[in-house]
Structure 1
Amino acid sequence: MTTDSPNGDPQLLLDLLHYPMPFGKYKGQLIRTLPVAYLEWFAQKGFPPGKLGQLLQTMYEIRINGLDYLLTELEKRQGKR
Protein backbone atom coordinates (compact mmCIF):
# COMPACT_ATOMS: atom_id res chain seq x y z
CA MET A 1 0.00 0.00 0.00
CA THR A 2 1.33 3.43 -0.90
CA THR A 3 1.24 6.43 1.43
CA ASP A 4 1.42 9.02 -1.35
CA SER A 5 -1.51 11.39 -1.38
CA PRO A 6 -3.32 11.51 -4.74
CA ASN A 7 -3.96 15.22 -4.12
CA GLY A 8 -0.35 16.26 -3.58
CA ASP A 9 1.87 16.73 -0.58
CA PRO A 10 0.17 18.43 2.40
CA GLN A 11 3.63 19.19 3.84
CA LEU A 12 4.06 21.79 1.06
CA LEU A 13 1.28 23.87 2.59
CA LEU A 14 2.94 23.70 6.00
CA ASP A 15 6.28 24.66 4.45
CA LEU A 16 4.70 27.70 2.79
CA LEU A 17 3.99 29.13 6.24
CA HIS A 18 7.70 29.53 7.02
CA TYR A 19 9.82 29.12 3.86
CA PRO A 20 11.76 32.25 2.83
CA MET A 21 12.75 33.12 -0.72
CA PRO A 22 16.45 32.21 -0.92
CA PHE A 23 17.55 34.65 -3.66
CA GLY A 24 16.70 37.66 -5.78
CA LYS A 25 14.83 40.86 -5.13
CA TYR A 26 12.66 39.22 -2.48
CA LYS A 27 15.41 37.28 -0.71
CA GLY A 28 14.37 36.53 2.87
CA GLN A 29 10.68 37.28 2.28
CA LEU A 30 8.28 34.43 2.98
CA ILE A 31 7.11 32.78 -0.23
CA ARG A 32 3.51 33.13 0.90
CA THR A 33 3.91 36.93 0.88
CA LEU A 34 5.54 37.27 -2.55
CA PRO A 35 3.71 39.55 -4.99
CA VAL A 36 1.54 37.71 -7.49
CA ALA A 37 3.38 39.45 -10.36
CA TYR A 38 6.61 37.76 -9.23
CA LEU A 39 4.89 34.37 -9.13
CA GLU A 40 3.44 35.03 -12.59
CA TRP A 41 6.93 35.77 -13.88
CA PHE A 42 8.10 32.36 -12.68
CA ALA A 43 5.03 30.75 -14.24
CA GLN A 44 5.98 32.27 -17.60
CA LYS A 45 9.74 31.70 -17.40
CA GLY A 46 9.67 28.39 -15.56
CA PHE A 47 9.78 27.46 -11.91
CA PRO A 48 13.15 26.41 -10.50
CA PRO A 49 13.73 22.70 -9.95
CA GLY A 50 13.28 20.98 -6.62
CA LYS A 51 11.42 21.97 -3.51
CA LEU A 52 11.67 25.71 -4.16
CA GLY A 53 9.98 25.29 -7.51
CA GLN A 54 7.23 23.18 -5.96
CA LEU A 55 6.62 25.81 -3.29
CA LEU A 56 6.54 28.68 -5.79
CA GLN A 57 4.22 26.80 -8.12
CA THR A 58 1.93 25.82 -5.25
CA MET A 59 1.80 29.45 -4.05
CA TYR A 60 1.06 30.59 -7.59
CA GLU A 61 -1.86 28.16 -7.85
CA ILE A 62 -3.17 29.24 -4.46
CA ARG A 63 -3.08 32.89 -5.48
CA ILE A 64 -4.64 32.58 -8.93
CA ASN A 65 -7.45 30.44 -7.53
CA GLY A 66 -8.19 32.71 -4.56
CA LEU A 67 -7.25 30.10 -1.98
CA ASP A 68 -5.09 32.24 0.32
CA TYR A 69 -7.56 31.56 3.12
CA LEU A 70 -6.26 27.98 3.26
CA LEU A 71 -2.87 29.17 4.50
CA THR A 72 -4.49 31.60 6.92
CA GLU A 73 -6.58 28.82 8.44
CA LEU A 74 -3.62 26.45 8.54
CA GLU A 75 -1.54 29.08 10.31
CA LYS A 76 -4.30 29.58 12.91
CA ARG A 77 -4.44 25.83 13.54
CA GLN A 78 -0.65 25.63 13.86
CA GLY A 79 -0.76 28.37 16.49
CA LYS A 80 -3.23 26.40 18.61
CA ARG A 81 -0.87 23.44 19.03
Structure 2
Amino acid sequence: MVAYQAVQEEFHDHDLGVYTAFGVCAYQIVEQQQEQVAYIPDVFLSTETAQHFVEICNRLQLEIIHLREVIEDAIL
Protein backbone atom coordinates (compact mmCIF):
# COMPACT_ATOMS: atom_id res chain seq x y z
CA MET A 1 0.00 0.00 0.00
CA VAL A 2 1.15 3.54 -0.75
CA ALA A 3 0.24 6.49 1.48
CA TYR A 4 0.59 10.10 0.41
CA GLN A 5 1.37 13.11 2.58
CA ALA A 6 1.64 16.84 1.92
CA VAL A 7 4.92 18.35 3.09
CA GLN A 8 5.34 22.05 3.84
CA GLU A 9 8.53 23.57 2.45
CA GLU A 10 10.19 26.97 2.30
CA PHE A 11 11.95 28.07 -0.86
CA HIS A 12 14.13 31.01 -1.84
CA ASP A 13 13.72 32.31 -5.37
CA HIS A 14 15.76 35.14 -6.89
CA ASP A 15 12.66 36.83 -8.35
CA LEU A 16 10.00 35.81 -5.83
CA GLY A 17 11.98 35.91 -2.63
CA VAL A 18 11.04 33.50 0.15
CA TYR A 19 7.82 31.55 -0.31
CA THR A 20 6.06 28.57 1.25
CA ALA A 21 5.00 25.68 -0.93
CA PHE A 22 3.82 22.12 -0.42
CA GLY A 23 5.31 18.99 -1.91
CA VAL A 24 3.92 15.48 -2.10
CA CYS A 25 5.64 12.56 -0.42
CA ALA A 26 4.73 8.91 -1.03
CA TYR A 27 5.41 6.12 1.43
CA GLN A 28 5.29 2.41 0.75
CA ILE A 29 3.75 0.66 3.75
CA VAL A 30 4.51 -3.01 4.32
CA GLU A 31 3.85 -4.81 7.60
CA GLN A 32 3.48 -1.54 9.54
CA GLN A 33 6.82 -0.27 8.22
CA GLN A 34 6.91 2.76 5.95
CA GLU A 35 9.59 3.74 3.47
CA GLN A 36 9.67 6.93 1.41
CA VAL A 37 9.46 5.93 -2.26
CA ALA A 38 8.78 9.27 -3.96
CA TYR A 39 9.01 12.96 -3.19
CA ILE A 40 7.95 15.77 -5.50
CA PRO A 41 8.71 19.22 -4.10
CA ASP A 42 7.12 22.62 -4.75
CA VAL A 43 3.80 21.45 -6.16
CA PHE A 44 1.12 23.54 -4.43
CA LEU A 45 1.06 26.99 -2.82
CA SER A 46 -2.04 26.34 -0.70
CA THR A 47 -2.17 24.02 2.29
CA GLU A 48 -5.84 23.30 1.59
CA THR A 49 -5.15 22.33 -2.03
CA ALA A 50 -2.23 20.11 -1.03
CA GLN A 51 -4.23 18.37 1.70
CA HIS A 52 -7.19 17.85 -0.62
CA PHE A 53 -4.89 16.37 -3.28
CA VAL A 54 -3.27 13.81 -0.96
CA GLU A 55 -6.65 12.89 0.56
CA ILE A 56 -7.91 12.01 -2.92
CA CYS A 57 -4.74 10.05 -3.71
CA ASN A 58 -5.07 8.09 -0.47
CA ARG A 59 -8.81 7.47 -0.84
CA LEU A 60 -8.42 6.24 -4.44
CA GLN A 61 -5.24 4.30 -3.57
CA LEU A 62 -3.29 5.93 -6.38
CA GLU A 63 -0.51 3.71 -7.70
CA ILE A 64 2.89 5.37 -7.38
CA ILE A 65 3.62 5.06 -11.10
CA HIS A 66 0.81 7.55 -11.79
CA LEU A 67 1.84 10.21 -9.26
CA ARG A 68 3.69 12.58 -11.61
CA GLU A 69 0.97 12.40 -14.23
CA VAL A 70 -1.77 13.10 -11.67
CA ILE A 71 0.20 16.05 -10.27
CA GLU A 72 0.62 17.47 -13.77
CA ASP A 73 -3.13 17.16 -14.35
CA ALA A 74 -3.87 18.80 -10.99
CA ILE A 75 -1.74 21.88 -11.61
CA LEU A 76 -2.61 22.52 -15.24
Normalising by structure 1, report the TM-score.
0.29
Greater share of residues in helix: 1
Normalising by structure 2, report the TM-score.
0.30
Greater share of residues in strand: 2
Compare relative contact order (CA 8 Å, sep 6+) and give the higher one, 1 or 2: 2
